[in-house]
Structure 1
Amino acid sequence: MTAVMVTAADRANAAIEAVLATQYRREAAVVLDSPPGAGKTGVVERLAVQGAAILGERVMVVTLTNEQAYDIARRLGAGFPRVPIHMMVSKELEIPEAIVAIPSLTIVESTQHLPQGPMIVIGNAAKWSWLDAHQPIAELQIVDEAYQLPDFQFLQIAGLAHRHALIGDPGQIAPVIQTELERWRSDLAGPHVPAPGALLARHPGIRRLALPVSRRLVQDTVSFIQPAFYPNLPFEALTPTRAMGYIVPGIMPTDLPLDAPTRGQSLSMIELPALMAGDVDREMAGCMVATIRRVLHRQAYVVEPNGERVRVTPAMIGVACAQVAQVAAVRERLWPDLNAILVETANRFQGLERPLMFVQHPLSGRADATAFHLDAGRLCVMLSRHSVACWIFGREGIASQLRRYAPIGDRALGIDADPEFEGWRSSENLLDQLSRHNRVYQIPAGLR
């Protein structure tokens, strides 16, 4: 009997087929968990096109932001130019010209402007929640980035469709709720809970699927990220490795960690001497910018699958920080020729990627370890935006800091989840792995 080799690509395709099959069976709801870079937006596209063009249904796509709606419209317009799509927007919204110019896209402002029969209509959750609709307007509702949508917002729009597909990354930052939540702390399906979790709590029989392959991350990164942030979601990388190199050899102190990707280390840490710097570490910001300039000065390149060497440009580089003030500290040190580098908070980096990422560890230079800085989703987002290499910058002593400031264990009755402990466990797991695999590189202070 001949053994059949099942590849990562085969497993990825089988998972997508399983999701698409739920719509042929007209299942009332399905939750799809996706690791970083697994192609969940591609699944959104396929579900939408299958529903409208093959099953002859009315499909509504829900996003969290207008930018996400624009992205889906662009992808549908380019990948399925013969499938008409509509975008539901407010009257005051200024839509980019590139979006308006999509030949297959029609902009609408109310349900009265939608066509009869099969269709695809895209809009953000806030716009959908203002519709004055007393009955469903679609057979299928697809929610993109569903784990960022709190349940109270989902319930405002759930009645607009007969069936629902909630797709998202369970490791991302939880929804931000700006109100007192004490009365719902023991409610598994509370209004503050991410929509997929609340839906599964109310209806445990709902089918829950998962994408098993990351198309963005290489296997080296997955071996660190998966056990630290996705202990209940096993996945692998579609691409074992992506090569990177430099034309100019390295001789400076920072060149050893910068050369790490050439040795197959896609994730490593650059550690500065211990210092209680507070929220804004100006020396750290200067070190990050100097390191980026060194990468460009050494004429770094990445190797495409076809063997072509692509020179690294500022537009291929991203910098992620936990706080806005840290973002500002990095930005003000960038010279004009580096303006194309994307410097943002973890929240704003969700859904984005860059070949090379430089990350400031949220716990670096702090005397405490608060729930904000321990948030597992925040660190997970920062460490999963790269496709080639990522360098974590931090002050010496983060590991001992975690041991000193163990979680207080503030638990709610009937709730198994403990976000603070999960963040503490994730951070400790990651730092322990980096240390055991010799991925922590110490450099002297004062680097500019």
Structure 2
Amino acid sequence: MSAGTRPTSPASQAGPGAEASPAAEANRVVEAVLADLARDHRGVVVDSPPGAGKSTLVVRAAAHLARAGERLMIVAQTNEQVDDLIDRIATDHPDLTIGRLSAAGYLASDRVTAHASVRVALKADDIADRTIVIATAAKWATLTDGSWPWAIVDEAYQMRSDMLLRIAGRFERALFVGDPGQLDPFSTVEVERWAGLSWDPMRSAVSVLLAHNPELPVHRLPVSWRLPASAAPVVSQAFYPFTGFRSGTGPGDRRLELGTGGMGTSHDRAVEEAAATGWSLYELPARHTLRTDSEAVRATAALAVRMLQRGPVAHSERGEAPVGADRIAIGAAHRDQVAAIRLALGPYAGEVTVDTANRLQGREYDVTVVLHPLSGRRDATAFHLESGRLCVLASRHRHACLVVARAGIPELLDAHPSAEPVRLGVPVRFPDGWEANQAVLARLGEHRVRADT
């Protein structure tokens, strides 16, 4: 999360203790955002916690601007995000004409071809008549001419500031929407030389935008519709301590029911704890291990399989539905861990989603199983301590999250306080990864199930 005090509109200041219903509170902020689009602002920023309706806001804002007679471009960070937005806008507003700007090798997905209002093109000139044009930031950066009165930048905190600079000439005004608690932009090259500079290309597009334009209005979506009442306080306090949010549902609104009885194993006890409380910490004995810790990998896969075998049924505001393999995800920090877990899943490997935190961003499941980034490690590196990584892993679920970890992580954190160099001009992050990990582990400790030995 970016540090510093940022301007926030009065309509965005309603906190978790407000008396308004979650829906009314969220709608009040959305209305304030739409009102700011009509004012003389060069840009408007909207911070969105996990599952707060960010994509819904983008769709609504796009339709709002289009119906006001504005042509606009929408910038997303991946092709998957582009296709998802096209599908949602075209479904909700079939009267709006949409252009999908793509690279030569792009194959239009069913979500795009299903809509007669959508046209795919390689060049902007071929879709110049479209009210809305959508593409990835990388594709927009290849354009050398053309401009739009408005832009909407989705997942703006995942976008590097240098990419924003490359496309800034394409639009006059913009709405930036994203989650400040998620993973920061990353690079495979050394970036120390730019640290502390106001235009550091590795800072997010939003942080650099606000550093140079502090007067821009910033709104905050105050309600998570994904996270249940058991999870929202944990994630909010650990990763959004100064801009907290609340769950859109109450303690009794969601329930995870197990259809079959267990056999009293530690796997069963962990599954039952998660179903009953929303959280479970499956703790293995303390030990320093390889990154692909075979025992932790097997436990992670076994918990997902055992959850499926117990026949879970999700009860929520959406109704009652069985939790199949497509509604369960496993998250890990590294790709080699992901590969090992997939192998351990056996026949379930093609059914249960297994991926890294980077690739799980923006996705939602009923149940998640997480291999803790610090499990079995001798040290706590900046990569493993990054608060956004744990935030993503702990905030993908609607009902329950099971965390697999070896004992000793709190002691590891105590032995490795943050030793990152302090640089002038670099915003201090709140919370830092050390603090966020301690906060989450303290809560998970209340739901500890020790592995059978």
Question: Shorter chain as normaliser: what TM range?
Answer: over 0.9
- Residue equivalent to 2:304: 292
- 2:210 maps to 200
Measure the CA separation in 1 of the matches of 2:133 and 2:343. Answer: 41
Deviation string, structure 1 residues 148-182 (Cα, Å, up to 9, x no partner): 00100001001111101110000111101233323
| Residues matched between the structures, number | 433
What is the match of residue 132 of structure 2?
120
Q: Counterparts of 2:319 and 2:115 in 1: how far apart (Å)?
A: 33
Structure 1 portions without partners, runs of 5+: none
Secondary structure of 1:154's counterpart equals helix
Give the Cα–Cα distance (whole angstroms) in 1 for the partners of residues 124 and 306 of structure 2. Answer: 54
Contact 2:151 2:175 in 1 (8 A): yes
Q: Report whether the alignment pairs 1:38 with 2:52.
A: yes
CA distance in 2: counterparts of 1:361 and 1:161, whole angstroms: 41
Deviations 1:203-223 (A, max 9, x none): 110111110000100121011
Alignment of 1:222-241 (within 5 A): 222-241=232-251
**1:268 aligned counterpart, secondary structure:** strand
Aligned partner (choices 368, 378, 381) of residue 379 of structure 2: 368
Deviations 1:327-355 (A, max 9, x none): 01100112224521000000000111111
Please report how far the alpha carbon of residue 109 of structure 1 lies from its aligned counterpart in structure 2 after TM superposition. 1.7
1:179-237 residue CA offsets vs partner (Å, 9 max, x unmatched): 33233211244221100000000011011111000010012101111111111221101
Moved more, 170-179 or 409-418: 409-418
1:159 equivalent in alignment to 2:172: no
TM-superposed CA distance for 1:409, in Å, is: 4.2
Residues 359-378 of structure 1: CA deviation (Å, up to 9, x unaligned) = 00000011111001111001
Q: 1:168 matched to which residue of 2?
A: 178
Secondary structure class of the residue paired with 1:254? helix
Tell me what 2:116 maps to. Answer: 103
Aligned pairs (5 A) from 1:347-426:
347-418=358-429, 422-426=432-436
CA distance in 2, matches of 1:380, 1:220: 15
Secondary structure of 1:156's partner? helix
Tell me by how many angstroms 1:67 deviates: 0.8
Residue 55 (structure 1) aligned with residue 68 (structure 2): yes
Residue of structure 2 in register with 1:245 after alignment: 257
1:75 correspondence with 2:92:
no
Shift of 1:418: 4.8
> What is the alpha-carbon distance in structure 1 between the residues aligned to residue 242 and residue 19 of structure 2?
25
CA distance in 2, matches of 1:427, 1:28: 37
Give, as a single letter, the amino acid of the residue that structure 1 aligns with 2:200.
G
The residue identity in structure 1 corresponding to 2:448 is V
Out of 260, 269, 294, which is 1:256 matched to? 269
Change (3 A) 1:433 1:297: closer
The answer on whether the counterparts of 1:58 and 1:137 sit within 8 Å (CA) in structure 2 is no
Deviates more, 1:246-255 or 1:195-204: 246-255
Hey, what's the Cα distance between the residues in 2 that align with 1:340 and 1:373?
28
By how many angstroms is 1:386 displaced? 0.5
Pairwise CA distance, 1:430? 1.2
Alignment partner of 1:259: what SS? Answer: helix
Aligned residue in 2 for 1:9: 23
SS across alignment from 2:244: coil
Deviation for aligned residue 1:315: 0.9
Describe the SS at the equivalent of 1:232.
Answer: coil
Match of 1:65 in 2: 78
What residue number does 1:145 align with? 155
Kept after mapping to 2: 8 A contact 1:314/1:338? no
Tell me the residue number matched to 2:331.
320
How big is each residue's C-alpha offset from its partner over 1:250-299, in whole Å with a ceiling of 9 and x where there is no partner?
22222222112443x21221111112112111111111222222212221
Q: Distance in 2 between matches of 1:262 and 1:342?
A: 20
Report the residue type matching 2:228 in the other structure. Answer: V
* Superposed displacement of residue 247, structure 1: 1.8
Deviation at 1:440, TM superposition (A): 1.8
Shift of 1:78: 1.3
The answer to whether the 8 Å contact 1:189/1:202 transfers is: no
Query: Which SS does the other structure have where 1:393 is aligned?
Result: strand
Give the alignment's TM-score, normalised by structure 2.
0.92
Unaligned segments of structure 2, at least 5 residues: 1-17
Q: Give, as a single letter, the amino acid of the residue that structure 2 aligns with 1:107.
A: V
Provide the rounded CA distance (Å) in 1 between the counterparts of 2:161 and 2:223.
27
1:186 aligns to 2:196 (yes or no): yes
Instruction: Work out whether 1:336 is the aligned partner of 2:350.
Output: no
CA distance in 2, matches of 1:193, 1:98: 32
In structure 1, C-alpha distance between the alignment counterparts of 2:34 and 2:429, rounded to whole Å: 33
CA RMSD after TM alignment: 1.7
For the pair 1:440 / 2:451, whether they are aligned, the reply is: no
CA contact (8 A) 2:229 2:250 kept: yes
Shift, 1:307, TM fit: 4.9
Identical-pair percentage: 36
Aligned to 1:29: 43
Distance 1:144 1:249 in 2: 44
1:273–1:444 Cα contact (<8 Å) kept: no
Deviation at 1:5, TM superposition (A): 5.1
Contact 1:314 1:339 in 2 (8 A): no
Alignment partners' CA distance in 1, 2:266 and 2:128: 63
Aligned residue for 1:220, secondary structure, equals coil
Whether the aligned pair in 1 keeps the contact of 2:83 and 2:111 (CA below 8 Å) is no
Is 1:304 aligned to 2:316, yes or no?
yes
Q: Indicate yes or no: 2:275 matched with 1:267.
A: no
Partner SS, residue 61 of structure 2: helix
**Deviation at residue 15 of structure 1 after TM alignment:** 0.8
For the 8 Å contact 2:267–2:302, the answer to whether it is kept is: no
Which residue of structure 1 aligns with residue 294 of structure 2?
282
